[in-house]
């Protein structure tokens, strides 16, 4: 609850510089361009609120909100472009491993590259696009990003179980536990991925003014439940991620008119 | 037209009567919503940036008080229309709910002696 009082806010009492610096540090979460445009206004509001609440440092909630919104604001078109290029590089690095057949250390390096890093960077580029288009808020963009990376990290573990299981089968060792573990771990990855996809679809439908919240959530859930396992299975090879990364890099490429706009972020 | 989020609705409501700066918007949204909306400062500025991009609010000058920058925000004509449309839709929904509540309801199973 915000305390009442003078609608024009507190008086001109200034915090000592060391205490004001605690609040100013929160601005570092935001990109430079955003800070230049909005930073002082945001800082002023933080200080006004803190004075009314008798605080000399930001609350934990304010710190968390600044981190989530600041990092989310960094997810923009430029970030999407570089993420897509990095995804392309990771995917290309994984291609020779598939061509040679996975052996030894590649059993773990391949899932890290082809199932976690390359699709994670591609997902980051997608989220950068939808955040820049204001389809999702910075905070929701960060939530979706965390879900997507968590889903892919779990999927990478599933892929590692799979390839290790193959090696053990080749060596004539029993693999029953590993195969059962693969399906359970893959299921967790699918659920996390489905929630991430549903969050994007729900936001897109809300922006388009389509359906009430229950309809949007249900539709997002159904699309996520279908798309997540399909995407997961496509990660067996890095080919799909390569094509998606190329498309994302092209659509996020720097354009002259974008440079002429005021910097929302940098 | 997508519906306004609760935060956007109360921010536009806070700006309906006059321009306000950030802290004043936080205070007014909390008061007007009876505490149901308690925005963090970073969330408020994310919402204001989105509303500004949608043409519903606009910055309306700055002043520096005690070394602190206060940026004022004001409702645009489009923002006023949007808020009025949202308020009409909410009032219509409330009328329907009240009418249903006022209509005679059948006795419950318990009242009819059904186990």
A201-242 pLDDT, tens digit per residue, is: 999 998 888 888 899 999 999 999 999 999 988 888 888 888
B102 pLDDT band, cuts 50/70/90, is confident
Share of chain A above pLDDT 90, in %: 53
Asked if residue A232 belongs to a domain, the reply is yes
A259 pLDDT band, cuts 50/70/90, is very low
Same domain, A81 and A62: no
pLDDT per residue as tens digits for the range A124-154: 999 999 999 999 999 999 999 999 999 999 9
Q: Answer with the one of A50, A71, A92 that is the final residue of a domain.
A: A71
Q: Which of A44, A47, A69 sits opposite B43 (nearest CB)?
A: A69
Mean pLDDT of chain B: 89
Asked if residue A3 belongs to a domain, the reply is no
CA B43 to chain A, closest CA, distance in angstroms equals 7
Same domain, A153 and A42: no
Same domain, A61 and A91: no
- Give whole-number Cα distances, A127 to A235, A240, B94, in Å: 19, 18, 37
pLDDT at A97: 78
Closest residue by Cα to residue A149 from A240, A83, A95, A202: A83
Q: Which domain holds residue A21?
A: 17-71
Q: Which of B2, B26, B46 sits opposite A209 (nearest CB)?
A: B2
pLDDT at A104: 62
Cβ of B1 within 8 Å of Cβ of A137? The answer is no
Best A7, A28, A41, A264 member to test B by mutation, with max B CBs in 10 Å, is A41
Cβ of B66 within 8 Å of Cβ of A11? The answer is yes
| A61 contact residues in B (CB cutoff 8 A) | 40
CB distance A16 to B40 below 8 Å: no
Q: Does A135 touch chain B (CB under 8 A)?
A: no
Beta pairing class for B20-21 and B68-75: antiparallel
Asked if residue A203 belongs to a domain, the reply is yes
What gap in Å lies between CA A58 and CA B51, rounded to an integer?
26
Tally the domains of chain A.
2
Asked if residue A174 belongs to a domain, the reply is yes
DSSP helix/strand/coil, B59: strand
Same domain, A39 and A95: no
Which residues face B69 on adjacent strands?
B64
Asked if residue A200 belongs to a domain, the reply is yes
Q: Which of A4, A10, A42 sits opposite B45 (nearest CB)?
A: A42
pLDDT at A125: 95
Cβ of B23 within 8 Å of Cβ of A137? The answer is no
**Statement: residue A1 has pLDDT above 50:** no
Angle (CA) A7 B57 A211, round 5°: 115
Asked if residue A6 belongs to a domain, the reply is no
Same domain, A151 and A242: yes
Cβ-based neighbour number of residue B23 at 10 Å = 27
Which of A53-62, A85-94, A179-188, A220-229 has the weakest average pLDDT? A179-188
**Statement: residue A255 has pLDDT above 70:** yes
Asked if residue A88 belongs to a domain, the reply is yes
Q: Which of A5, A134, A209 sits opposite B53 (nearest CB)?
A: A134
Cβ-based neighbour number of residue B79 at 10 Å = 23
Q: Does A16 touch chain B (CB under 8 A)?
A: no
Query: Domain B6-102 is of which CATH architecture?
Result: Orthogonal Bundle (1.10)
Same domain, A82 and A212: yes
Which of A10-14, A78-82, A155-159, B102-106 has the weakest average pLDDT? A10-14
| A62 contact residues in B (CB cutoff 8 A) | 40-42
Q: Answer with the one of A40, A56, A71 that is the final residue of a domain.
A: A71
pLDDT per residue as tens digits for the range B25-59: 999 999 998 888 889 999 999 999 999 999 999 99
Against a cut of 0.95, is the pTM above it?
no
| A71 contact residues in B (CB cutoff 8 A) | none
B16 pLDDT band, cuts 50/70/90, is very high
């Amino acid at each position: 609850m915000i305390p009442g009082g003078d609608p024009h806010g507190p008086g001109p009492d200034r915090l000592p510089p060391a205490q004001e610096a605690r609040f100013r540090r929160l601005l570092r979460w935001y990109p430079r361009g955003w800070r230049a445009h909005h930073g002082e206004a945001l800082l002023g509001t933080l200080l006004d609120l803190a004075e009314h609440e008798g605080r000399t440092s930001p609350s934990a909630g304010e710190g968390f909100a600044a981190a989530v919104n600041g990092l989310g604001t960094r997810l923009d078109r430029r970030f999407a472009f570089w993420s897509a290029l990095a995804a392309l590089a990771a995917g290309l690095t994984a291609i020779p491993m598939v061509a040679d057949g996975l052996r030894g250390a590649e059993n773990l390096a391949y899932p890290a590259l082809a199932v976690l890093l390359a699709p994670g960077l591609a997902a980051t580029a997608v989220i950068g696009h939808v955040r820049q288009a204001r389809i999702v808020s910075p905070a929701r963009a960060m939530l979706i990003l965390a879900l997507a990376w968590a889903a892919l990290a779990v999927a990478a573990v599933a892929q590692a179980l799979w390839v290790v299981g193959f090696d053990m089968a080749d060596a004539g060792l029993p693999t029953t536990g590993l195969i059962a573990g693969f399906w359970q771990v893959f299921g967790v990855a699918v659920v996390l991925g489905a929630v991430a996809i549903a969050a994007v679809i729900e936001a897109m439908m809300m922006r388009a003014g389509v359906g009430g919240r229950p309809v949007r959530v249900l539709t997002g859930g159904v699309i996520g439940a279908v798309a997540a396992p399909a995407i997961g299975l496509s990660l067996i090879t890095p080919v799909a991620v390569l094509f998606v990364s190329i498309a994302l890099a092209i659509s996020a490429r720097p354009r002259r008119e974008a440079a002429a706009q005021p910097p929302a972020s940098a | 037209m997508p519906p306004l989020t609760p935060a956007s609705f109360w921010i536009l409501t806070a700006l309906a009567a006059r321009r306000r700066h950030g802290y004043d918007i936080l205070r007014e949204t909390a008061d007007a919503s009876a505490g149901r909306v308690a925005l963090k400062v970073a969330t408020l500025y994310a919402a204001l940036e989105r509303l500004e991009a949608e043409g519903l609010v606009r910055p309306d000058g700055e002043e520096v008080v005690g070394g602190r920058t206060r940026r004022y925000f004001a409702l645009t004509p489009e923002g006023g229309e949007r808020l009025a449309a949202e308020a009409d839709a909410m009032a219509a929904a409330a009328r329907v709910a009240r009418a249903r509540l006022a209509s005679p309801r059948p006795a419950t199973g318990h009242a009819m002696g059904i186990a």
